[in-house]
Structure 1
Amino acid sequence: MSPRATWKGTIRLGELAFPVSLYAAATTSRRVSFHILNRETGNRVRREYIDEQTEETVERDQQVKGYETAKDHYVILDPEEIAEAVPDSDKTLTIEAFIPCSAVETVYFDKPYFIAPSDEAFADSFALVREGMRKKKVAALARAVLFRRVRTVMLRVQGLGLVAHTLNFDYEVRSAEEAFEDLPDPQIEGEMLDLAKHIIETKSGAFDPRDFDDRYDNAVAELVQAKIEGRKIKAPKPPEETKVTSLLDALRESANASGRAKPAAPRKRSSPAPKSAPSKSRKKAG
């Protein structure tokens, strides 16, 4: 079954324009999810909004959005007022610039989407932009009104299509400098640095999402299946506590566990050296 497009519009690059469809690239639909039930009756329960002062239920047609200007003081906004204030979508992704693929810090990435041509008659135009980006090894920055918000979108080539990330605004991303300003900066050198580099080399690999599973979902799926079958599951053993007397000892133990020879003793340096029940399996075929 073909995925359903979450947005349809047009990519515009100068005078070139062609229709595209945008598809959600990630989904939570396969995660284990729960309903809230009444323990005594087994019936589902529903949420209600309660007035904080009167403690009476507020029906949907009486609910409005409010922006707090001071403690317990609000500006009330009706849905019609919000709709009028939000920019209308012209259904256009306007490419404003091309940048190196690595130019945007990953903390700015929000949600991923796939983009494909929505009309075969314009497949050549789509392919022209895609292959031009591939040859130049660049990404595109575009602007559009998506889901009633003006968004900046980063487009990159992936296979025969494009993958798009909506980007967080600058005010939405916290300062890394503030997060790390109190961190100490010890000088790491000598045997410790050599051991760390050795461990990293022996652990070198490639990213394959099929190698990583959702242990929480798998454990809950197994629990549900066990309850359906009327059996108990054995609780996993807690991890063994690791006792390490020092950072250097920890590095040595890790190097020994790699199964390779420990690096040669470091030379002395004159100066310092410069991170049903749900299915248990969540893996998808590549």
Structure 2
Amino acid sequence: MQRTPLVPTSRPRRWLNEWRRPLGFSSMPTAVWTGSLSLGLVVVPVRLYPAVRKKNVRFHELDRAGRRMRHVRVPESEIYLPVPEPETRFSVGPVQERGLPVEHASTPEVTYEEINKGYEVAPGQYVSMTREEVASLAPERSRVIDVQQFVDVSAVDPIYFESRYYVVPDRDSTSPFRILRQALAAADRMAIAWFTLRSRRYLSAIRAYGDVMLLTTMVHADEVAAADFFIPDADAAATDKELKMARLLIDTLSGPFEPERYPDEHRQRLLDAIGAKTPSLAESPTAPSPTRIVDLMAALEASVKAAKAARA
């Protein structure tokens, strides 16, 4: 039996534009996952898109002549020649003159196919596994986000949250998707689910987020480190007056969260320096050290006054 393709092969671009418009897409990003959101007998076709795009400034390694460096796969060695002095460290010459292992001058590079995975069980001792052995233990491929339960949005501490993805309805699932999203928002609940992405099975939380839903991958319970290394001082309980003043400071500094008020200043400085092609960044003036206030009440009162003055 011949199957009818979901996307008309004769007019793929027109179909894509028609799919975009009802969902409000101005430009189509690339989905990292396509499949279905499963709630018992209810199945909603969805796609996942990255909700966060890091804008870190990435540097490549160059030598002083401006040539990009390439790392070579060679076996480790404990025999090293002395590192040359700074003025000769970057000079071009035989491998032995650059402070690398002696054997690396004649040891051929190990090909990717010859490299196994090694798990260190003791210092210098490894259990070796082939890539095929590791791949055989990976979870089965699945195109289903399998919902296990629903919990209150406030029931999961943010310490469990990792990466975030937008959950968007697929072509013919806008109606059931909208119903589920609105129901989650009205109930103030989120779904706890399993799904597989790039050969790894993730625990995740799904909640309503504007016109879409937000899926957040989660760490497991045994991955959250306990804070039992800190032992509070039993004799350092705050007084009612101190708590009242601290609460006053909190209330004075409270307000709506405006993320645009907190830009990445370090990244901007890097970009400015790169754009200007300056050989070195000018030293920033050292900020004067604030006067140390030992008394807690005095510190709180001073902070409240400063906060009020800043808002005046």
Category of TM-score, reference length = shorter chain: 0.7 to 0.9
Q: Give the C-alpha shift of residue 140 in structure 1.
A: 0.4
Q: What's the counterpart of residue 4 of structure 1? A: 30
Cα shift at 1:190: 4.5
Maintained 8 Å contact 2:184/2:208: yes
- 1:242 counterpart letter in structure 2: P
1:195 to 245, 248, 254: 245
The structure with the greater share of residues assigned to helix is: 2
Higher relative contact order (CA 8 A, sep 6+): 1
The reply to whether residue 49 of structure 1 matches residue 97 of structure 2 is: no
Residue 150 of structure 2, aligned match among 81, 98, 102: 98
**Aligned-partner Cα distance in 2 for 1:245–1:117:** 56
Shift in Å, 1:68: 2.5
Matched residue SS, 1:22: strand
CA distance in 2 between partners of 1:34 and 1:93 (Å): 37
1:171 aligns with 2:222: yes
C-alpha displacement at 1:129, in angstroms? 1.4
Kindly indicate whether the alpha-carbon contact (under 8 Å) linking 2:192 and 2:203 is maintained by their aligned counterparts in 1.
Answer: yes
Q: Indicate conservation of the 8 Å contact 1:226/1:233, yes or no.
A: no
The Cα shift of 1:234 comes to 4.9
User: Which sections of structure 1, spanning at least 5 residues, go unmatched?
Assistant: 261-286
Aligned to 1:241: 289
Confirm or deny that 1:217 pairs with 2:217: no
Aligned pairs for 1:33-182 within 5 A:
33-39=58-64, 41-53=65-77, 55=104, 56=107, 57-119=109-171, 121-176=172-227, 178-180=228-230, 182=231
CA change 1:203–1:88 in 2 (3 A) is same
Cα-to-partner distance string for 1:184-215 (whole Å, 9 max, x where unaligned) = 24111154333212211110111121111001
Residue 259 of structure 1 aligns to a residue whose secondary structure is helix
The separation in 1 between residues aligned to 2:164 and 2:223, in whole angstroms, is 17
**For residues 191 and 244 of structure 1, do their structure 2 counterparts lie closer, same or farther at Cα, with a shift above 3 Å needed?**
farther
User: What is the Cα deviation at residue 48 of structure 1?
Assistant: 2.1
SS of 1:68's equivalent in the other structure is strand
The one-letter amino acid of 2:69's match is V
Measured in 1, the distance between the counterparts of 2:240 and 2:214 equals: 44
Residue type of the partner of 2:112? R
What letter corresponds to residue 304 of structure 2 in structure 1?
A: A
Q: Distance in 2 between matches of 1:197 and 1:126?
A: 42
Matched, 1:184 2:210: no
Please tell me the root mean square deviation across aligned C-alpha atoms, in Å.
Answer: 2.0
1:38·1:45 contact (CA, 8 Å) conserved in 2? yes
Quote the Cα distance in structure 1 between the aligned partners of 2:142 and 2:304.
58
C-alpha displacement of 1:76: 1.9
**Structure 2 CA distance, aligned partners of 1:194 and 1:103?**
28
- Displaced runs of 4+ in structure 1, greater than 6 A? none
Inter-partner Cα distance in structure 2 for 1:32 and 1:242? 32
Q: Helix, strand or coil: the match of 2:242?
A: helix
- CA shift, 1:233, in A, is 6.3
Shift in CA distance, 27/107, structure 1 to aligned 2, threshold 3 Å: same
Alpha-carbon distance between aligned partners in 2 of 1:215 and 1:52, rounded to the nearest angstrom: 39
Contact map agreement 2:32 2:50 (CA 8 A) in 1: yes
* CA distance in 2 between partners of 1:66 and 1:234 (Å): 45
Larger radius of gyration: 2
The change in CA–CA distance for 1:135 and 1:190 in structure 2 (over 3 A counts) is closer
Q: Given the two structures, how large is their TM-score scaled by the length of structure 2?
A: 0.75
Equivalent position to 2:57, from 10, 32, 35: 32
